[in-house]
Amino acid sequence: MTSKTTNDVIYIDDLVNTCGYFNSRHDVNNGYGCAHPKQESRQDGHGCCMPFSCPIAVELHPEDEPEDQTIIDASTPDGRHVDASNDGWMLVTGAYRKTPIGSW
């Protein structure tokens, strides 16, 4: 079981902006591509960046898991708050390269 800590929580938009596997080189999934070799969601032969199939993170589900909401609340020092009706928060469970988009 993965230990959940606030240091591992990131909003999907922030993950996309820092993940070295994200790419927008192909016109798949509205430009949200994934070059991770273990990405199983594919379209026209290219990986798709999808929260439900992310190989380096899992979606948090505050509506189903009260612990997830507590972790999200504690990890948002900039004042962003998400309630149980929102989604997009990820728990990073694997290594990813923090590089600017398009730099690799």
CB 18 within 8 A of CB 97: no
- Per residue in 39-87, pLDDT (tens digit) is 999 999 999 999 899 999 988 887 788 887 777 777 766 655 555 445 7
Could you tell me if 5 and 70 are in contact, meaning their C-beta atoms sit under 8 angstroms apart?
A: no
**pLDDT tens, residue by residue, 2-51:** 444 445 788 888 888 888 889 888 888 999 999 999 999 999 999 999 98
